[in-house]
Amino acid sequence: MKDDLTFRNDEYIFMPMSFPQPKDMYENFRSTLHESDHWTMPKKTYRYLLRYVTDRFSNVVDQEGINEKSQCYHVELNSRGRQAFGIPDEDSWVYAAGGKKSEEGMAFQIRNISLYCFNTGICIFSLGIRAGESDSYVVSDLIYKLKKASACKVILKEGEESRTLLDVVKSICDPAFRAAADRTEGIAEEDRFRYFFYQNYGEERANALIYLERTGDGGADSPDRLEDSPACKRELYYLRNGFRRDFTYNERFDQDQFQTHCHSGWAVWSMSLEAAVCMTFPEKDPFIREKFYENLNTHYLFMYIMLIHQKYTLYMFLRNIADNEHEKRPEALVEYRDRLYEFETDFVFSCISEVPQYQILYEMMYKVLKLDSMYKDVREPLQMLSRLEQEKREQHEKKQEEEKSLQNWRMTEAMFLLSVLVVVSALTDGFDLSGSVLGSLGLPGLAIKTAQFLALAAIAVYFIYVMVKMRRNRKESRRSDGRK
């Protein structure tokens, strides 16, 4: 049986793009692709992932049919599209030129071209390839070239001029992007879409998902488990980092930056910021060669795309912070917060499956991509918004207290004036009445006048006391309110 096996390798190269006005552009781009005869929407089933995760994709087929309530969709370039854009069929060989140091070409097949589009404003171009040899170092050499999309030159057909991989991607995507942008109002030509929007020009680097079936038994002295093989550890080092084979091997280089996960004794994952690698030994486990391989190209691929979509979206948020200077525009912070909350609600999950193999790997990939650290950076502007909102609340409360204090003072003044009028009226009436009463008692006129004026003096002293007290209270009230 060993001699009958054909060992495989599959690689996916992921390149991100962003477009403005996510909601409108997302729908118009979907309509443009749907109307084109170059793209096909494949129907997928992800039965091992939870429904609230898969419901985000319009391609998912379940018992109720195709899901139309989605926040993302997936299309594949069909045979008509390949012919229109000059892409050979999946069994033909294309070549990656050696680049700056060499003109030697490396053969590979383009097995699949896909677009994964999200209503966040992110679109991921996926290039599914197969290297000419299922050898770890051949694959790592190829990935080293292809991941540098703007530098790597490819020859699609014999006799054609070489083009950069990024130029090939643009030739495929730009017509649909332009058509969708023309259907969307308010998009300037220079703002329509951006490739590798978070990286500097000339330094664009793609992400990769790599699957490699290892041949033989790893050597006479190899251990029983793939993850413990020194040869496999070395190969995984080059694959996950996308290094050429002539790079010096240094097992300490990324020892704090990668994770290795043993799916079974004969399937092991190794991850870095740039790539996720799955190396298997199908001779030892028939399940790996059949069902696991199928799941890798559906469930595991979908899972990795969800995670790098989070990464790309967070890069977009960080880019927006720098471009828009949110700290100077509080209203932009509110919009920023609403968009971030919507993104987290739709695409950020703690649990994506109750099947341990998927959930454990998802958590490890999440950790390696450093998404937690990126979320801290992205949420930092919201702390400023919280401070601004707190200051606004405090100012509002202070204003309310001042208005209430002023209203109380005005009420007190009104009551005092009313009481003065009452006192004056009472004094006038009392003055006449006291003269009559004291006169009827037979007191002399001087005594009567003296008693009346003493009473008036007492009332005047009390009136002055009340006035001084009110003035003092008003000063204290103004001082406590910060009024001058």
Segment 386-404, tens digit of pLDDT: 666 666 666 766 777 777 7
Residue 275 has pLDDT above 90, yes or no: yes
Residue whose entry in the numeric block shows the structure tokens 């000419």: 132
* Backbone region of residue 121 per phi and psi (left: phi > 0; alpha: psi in -120 to 50; beta: other values): left
- Identify the band that residue 484 occupies on the pLDDT scale cut at 50, 70 and 90: very low
How many other CB atoms are there within 10 angstroms of residue 232's CB atom?
23
Q: Residue 338 in contact with residue 42, Cβ under 8 Å?
A: no
Sign of torsion over alpha carbons 18, 24, 27, 28: negative
Residue 185 has pLDDT above 70, yes or no: yes
Segment 155-166, tens digit of pLDDT: 998 888 899 999
Segment 39-63, tens digit of pLDDT: 998 887 888 888 888 888 776 655 4
Write the DSSP assignment of 39-74 as a string of letters. EE---B--TTS-HHHHTTBTTBEETTEE--S-SEEE
What is the per-residue pLDDT for 60?
64
- Identify the band that residue 474 occupies on the pLDDT scale cut at 50, 70 and 90: low
* Alpha carbon 117 to chain centroid, angstroms: 15
What is the per-residue pLDDT for 40?
93
Query: Residue 1: is it exposed, middle or buried by C-beta count within 10 angstroms (0-12/13-18/19+)?
Result: exposed
Most confident of 279-283, 386-390, 409-413, 459-463: 279-283
Q: Residue 218 in contact with residue 236, Cβ under 8 Å?
A: no
The domains of the chain are located at: 2-369, 398-481
Please state, in angstroms and rounded to a whole number, the distance separating the CA atoms of residues 457 and 453: 6
The residue among 9 and 6 whose pLDDT is bigger is 9
Q: Residue 333 in contact with residue 381, Cβ under 8 Å?
A: yes
For the whole model, what pTM was predicted? 0.77
Segment 421-434, tens digit of pLDDT: 666 666 665 566 56
What is the per-residue pLDDT for 38?
95
What is the per-residue pLDDT for 229?
74
Identify the DSSP state of 216: T
What is the per-residue pLDDT for 377?
87
Residue 258 has pLDDT above 70, yes or no: no
What is the per-residue pLDDT for 432?
61
- Identify the band that residue 439 occupies on the pLDDT scale cut at 50, 70 and 90: low
Please state, in angstroms and rounded to a whole number, the distance separating the CA atoms of residues 75 and 55: 16
Helix (H, G, I), strand (E, B) or coil at 422: helix
Residue 65 has pLDDT above 80, yes or no: no
The strand ranges marked E within 97-165 are 106-118, 122-131, 153-155, 163-164
Residue 7 has pLDDT above 60, yes or no: yes
Please state, in angstroms and rounded to a whole number, the distance separating the CA atoms of residues 210 and 279: 8
- In this structure, the strands spanning 72-77 and 106-118 are antiparallel
Number of helices (H) and strands (E) in the chain: give both, helices first. 13, 15
Residue 350 has pLDDT above 50, yes or no: yes
Residue 280 has pLDDT above 70, yes or no: yes
Segment 89-140, tens digit of pLDDT: 999 999 997 544 444 578 999 999 999 999 999 999 999 999 998 889 999 9
What is the per-residue pLDDT for 324?
61
